[in-house]
Amino acid sequence: MSQLKPYENHRDISSPNRNIAPITTEINENNQLVVGGCVISDLAKRYGTPLYILDEATIRASCKAYKSSLEKYYKGDSLPIYASKANSSLVISSIISSEGLGLDAVSEGELITALKGGLKGENIVLHGNNKSKHELQLAYNNKVKIIIDNYHDIEILKSIVPSEGTAAEVMLRFTPGIECHTHEYIRTGHLDSKFGFDPEELEKVLIDLKNYSFVRLIGLHAHIGSQIFELQPHIDLVGVMVEALKLARKLGHPVSDLNIGGGLGIKYINSDDPPSIENWIKVISEALNSSCSENNISLPRLMCEPGRSLVATSGITIYEIGSRKDIPGVRTYLSVDGGMSDNPRPITYQSEYSACLLDKPFSKTEEKVTIAGKHCESGDVLLKDFALPKSKSGDFLGVFGTGAYNFSMSSNYNRIPRPAAVIVSNGHAEIIQRRELSEDLLRYDLLPDRFITND
């Protein structure tokens, strides 16, 4: 675990994923943490805790880094697409739209959030290994590009698209034979994955799609993992996808889009060293430029799907410290008013984070503590054996890098309401998601008459 050190090295403003804290992070004259011009402990008092905070400037800087890097290094057209599973909301959709990015959705909920947030259907792609007829109908009606994941998708589209209607624009997802783990990767002929067509199926499905008038194959898609720090796997991915592109065009498909997925990692703790957004894009762009030139084929539109690297660093989750338990010679527990229901990643993936006391961000560390959540699970631990200044009940703790896969994976375990979320910019804070109340959790409960007594 890592105490916050935002000024330990020169902060990379142009690539927020290489920083632990949001790019607007400052320490004021009262030794308080400030983000987006707002004193964060003041927001905790105003809006309550737990509280999600997003820094607008960090999200926009990440969007601009992807856009400008593609324009700088790739010789063809391009479109970065936000993987909204990382954090889906109307406000984030609006920011993504205003910055000129597209968006990928994997459900009706993410799709309607994107559309109502301002995204045009033609700049949205729909993923999913088990899309419903309703989801596919919604996508088709809104001119959303559909990622074909299996023959089930094809059969449903056949029943949706009118015989004299416009063909659905689709992209074909296949497993590329490259599996990436955080610090190593392997290449195999088959991957054990629920997503996409097996490489050996590729030619057959391409031939089949050529005979279907209700779909028009305009792109190919592949994805190799998440929180990746290595660049070589993506170079290998480009090579595999160019071969697939050649085959698709040889079979007569007007494939114009090549979507390489996402996966670029972020800096959660001081020892993490992810590539910059610019370097990631540079390596992929140069590999595709070169491969297409060598194979004498026209450049496709290059698409990528960053999620975590767009929004994670913008996020901080604020907790209030409550009880303390000292076990001599073993461990000291500090419990906070949230935990696995607002951040399930530590208990699920053993994920590590950086944190600080909001009003003592640079104070000398005096003890090692384990930050425990309030849920009825022994494994509900956010930070284990973590160095902090001496703290007391009522102090506020900020956990960094929580803009991705925290709110989107949150739950009501133990019937605990989800936190509110605010966005900060230029000294202003605005609510973007209301705090759930305990009574909200009863909205969908029903009590049949036979259970009602007159007592």
CATH code (residue 157): 3.20.20.10
Q: Which helix (H) or strand (E) holds 386?
A: strand 381-388
Residue 245, classed as helix, strand or coil, is helix
Positions marked active-site: 376
Our count of domains for the chain comes to 2
Judge whether 447 lies within some domain: no
Which residue reads 């949205």 in tokens?
124
- Do 38 and 69 fall within a single domain? no
Residues of the domain holding 105? 57-311
- Do 273 and 336 fall within a single domain? no
Please list the pLDDT of the chain residue by residue as tens digits (455 residues). 344 554 444 578 899 999 999 999 999 999 999 999 999 999 999 999 999 999 999 999 999 999 999 999 999 999 999 999 999 999 999 999 999 999 999 999 999 999 999 999 999 999 999 999 999 999 999 999 999 999 999 999 999 999 989 999 999 999 988 877 654 555 544 567 888 888 889 999 999 999 999 999 999 999 998 899 999 999 999 999 999 999 999 999 999 999 999 999 999 999 999 999 999 999 999 999 999 999 999 999 999 999 999 999 999 999 999 999 999 999 999 999 999 999 999 999 999 999 999 999 988 889 999 999 999 999 999 999 999 999 999 999 999 999 999 999 999 999 999 999 999 999 999 999 999 999 999 999 999 999 988 76
Virtual CA dihedral for 284, 114, 179, 346, nearest 10 degrees? 120
Judge whether 246 lies within some domain: yes
CB contact set of 173 (below 8 Å; sequence gap of 6+)? 127, 147, 148, 149, 195, 196, 197, 220, 221, 222, 223
Judge whether 452 lies within some domain: no
Judge whether 232 lies within some domain: yes
Judge whether 450 lies within some domain: no
Q: Cα separation of 180 and 89, whole Å? A: 29
Name the DSSP class of 274.
P
Of the candidates 315, 317, 322, 316, the one whose C-alpha atom is nearest the C-alpha of residue 395 is 322
Q: Which of 311, 331, 347 is the last residue before a domain boundary?
A: 311
- Do 78 and 41 fall within a single domain? no
Please state the φ and ψ torsions of residue 131, each to the nearest 5 degrees.
-70, 140
